[in-house]
A and B are shown apart, each in its own frame.
Chain A
Amino acid sequence: EAGVAQSPRYKIIEKRQSVAFWCNPISGHATLYWYQQILGQGPKLLIQFQNNGVVDDSQLPKDRFSAERLKGVDSTLKIQPAKLEDSAVYLCASSLLRQYNSPLHFGNGTRLTVT
């Protein structure tokens, strides 16, 4: 089976600019997660989708971050405007909802540098 696809792999922008990341989960995976991983730290959950509905966005900075999952498949995460502290790797993961004890499958992430 094909893995989780993310693009771009790297992105460098200046502060106050906007940026978008794209994720294509594994086919059939109902649950999709976006994580932010700052260098040297563990991944922090930003938002979790079940199909195309949001089930958890409690740690998403909603004044600047937004995410959508159209048709319950692909997802995009946007930052507008970016701040220096947004420099991090943004990881997308998906899992099978039907299997209660199912692992997450991760993409390789997008490394964002804000200058």
Chain B
Amino acid sequence: SQQGEEDPQALSIQEGENATMNCSYKTSINNLQWYRQNSGRGLVHLILIRSNEREKHSGRLRVTLDTSKKSSSLLITASRAADTASYFCATVSGGYQKVTFGTGTKLQVIP
């Protein structure tokens, strides 16, 4: 089963614009992670935010977490054509770090 629902399912923007993706989940978490997947490849870890954090930055990425609403958002600023990929949120829960992925957002950045 999918823990996270992502919104939108697909997003098309011009190069230089910002892209925002949202993730909602259902149960309590240890942390929440975001991954990128280029076509035909495995997933690559982008950023991790702990359950006691509200915001985190890494380069052009900004992640927010609202545990009261069970939601997170990923902002990519000044997007580039190379950012074209699918993006997934993943919740981590339990003592054994069960990692459950959302449905994903397919981002297309037009040069």
Contact = CB atoms under 8 A, between A and B. Distances in A.
Interface residues of B, number: 27
Contacts of A35: 101
A72 interface: no
B50 interface: yes
Interface string A36-54: 0000011111001010000
Contacts, number: 67
Interface residues of A, number: 29
B97 A59 contact: no
A103 interface: yes
A59 B33 contact: no
B58 to A, nearest CB: 12
B18 interface: no
B54 interface: no
A108 B42 contact: yes
Interface in B63-111: 88, 90, 92, 96-104
27 contacts: A4-B42, A41-B104, A42-B4, A42-B88, A42-B103, A43-B101, A44-B2, A44-B101, A48-B96, A50-B96, A55-B96, A56-B96, A56-B98, A59-B1, A91-B43, A93-B42, A93-B99, A101-B31, A103-B33, A103-B48, A104-B43, A104-B45, A104-B90, A105-B45, A108-B40, A109-B42, A111-B40
7 A-B pairs with the lowest CB-CB distances in the bound complex, closest first:
A106-B42, A103-B45, A42-B101, A55-B96, A106-B43, A43-B101, A108-B42
Given A43-B88, A106-B43, A108-B42, 16 more contacts: A31-B96, A42-B2, A42-B88, A42-B101, A45-B100, A48-B96, A50-B96, A55-B96, A101-B50, A101-B92, A102-B97, A104-B33, A104-B90, A106-B42, A107-B42, A109-B41
Interface of A: 4, 31, 33, 35, 41-45, 48, 50, 55-56, 59, 91, 93, 95, 97, 100-109, 111
